[in-house]
Chain A
Amino acid sequence: MVKALNEALRRSLSEDDRTLVLGEDVGVLGGVFRVTDGLQAEFGDKRVFDTPLAEAAIAGVSLGLALAGWRPVAEMQFDGFSYPALDQVISHVAKYRYRSRGRQTVPIVIRIPFAGGIGAAEHHSESPEAYYAHTAGLKVVAPSTPIDAYDLLRASIADPDPVIFFEPKSRYWSKEEGDLDGASALPIGKARVLREGSDCTVIAYGAMVARSLAAAHAAAARGTELEVLDLRTLVPLDLDALAASVRRTGRAVVVHEAPLTAGFGAEVVARLMEDAFDYLEAPVLRVTGYDTPYPPATIESHYLPSVERILDAVDRVTNY
């Protein structure tokens, strides 16, 4: 996935000379995860540059650059370090088009490596997507596979609105065969059925898509066919795909790493109540991180939704 993201940035930088890449250590080092590896050497330090260590300024300055006609792709080094930028993102980036009555858009992409499962220290495993999804004016994207990460990053950079782009760290080293810019590319705002099944829909995004597919594989061995729906985009949410899948299966489980209370899963469940209530055979359940701070890495496997916890929820809705 790192290489796919890197290629997306390379092609965007190459095709549009207004595209910029900025952030902490994105230049010579190529980013702490190497997503920007080699880009400064190829495109120069005016278009790919390191900033001082100040996240609010990275976001605020990106807005100024966008007003001056540039298309900044800013990197927040880690999920847990993105919070100083929240004021700029919420107060200005999200509101600028609205405030200007549509006259000035701010086509900024803020990339945030997110979520856990990589054995990291405190502040390096958080899932802050609900903060952004709750903020009107932001698109929120979270790919699950390398090729989709490529497609969605390309689409995010081309998008006229600001996009918060969540990269699932634990999938950074995942591999996938396929064509970039292929016919399978879906735009922002479209979910994708990754596995068809008739018994229950498992809805996920980011790293939890692979976990849900693993659960579906295990369930199939026991004779339960799970449909896995990869949301890909949290805002705007693909309401039609969500309702269509659950109308087929009549049952749903939502999976994410972020804590339960007011997590994005609550939004998904509410949408299903509105759009698929008559089709539901059982209550929709959520399998999520717990309502605790992200725990120390030595016990994070007990916090993250596991195949077993997903299967347990599936059992409960299918046996309802």
Chain B
Amino acid sequence: MKELLELYLEFMKIGAVNFGGGYAMLPLLERELVTEKKWVTTEDLLDYFAIGQCTPGVIALNVSTFIGNKRKGTLGGVVASLGFLSIPILIILVIAMFLTNFADLPVVKNAFAGIRVCVCVLIFQAVLRLWSKSIVDKVTLALYLVIFFLAAFGSLLPVKVPAAVLVICAGVFGVFFGKGGEKK
């Protein structure tokens, strides 16, 4: 019971600061769950993100379910997910009730312009840190460059390849050409 409560509160905290989409959450998850709580490894997190990209729903929520489940089984998964949802639900309820022009308030606009700057630095630092764990040779580097290009500049191409398709292709590619299987 105490551990479930801890799961709930931890993911409530993460849900409260999940700005800028799921991937922006990675630096925060790393700090909270890998460095401080030691519930998962960085590799686990990357795996969850990859799977979350190919399954329905918000990636950040997928990651919460995964980690909750890893800690305390099915119930843990549900508890972590509900924790993650708590603050966003409350915020929108408050906005819907009282603040119809919330997004137009100058203080909100200015604060979030500042937060966005911080989010890109956090993501950039996460990429630097995670680089050595995922880009291990020339094959993974090539895979990285191709997927990065398609994901970042896909909208300039005649057909935009959905992110889920990119990730699934990378997985299939790994099965055929990957060097996995060795122990860490």
Please say whether chains A and B are actual partners in one complex: no
A contact set with B: CB distance below 8 Å: none
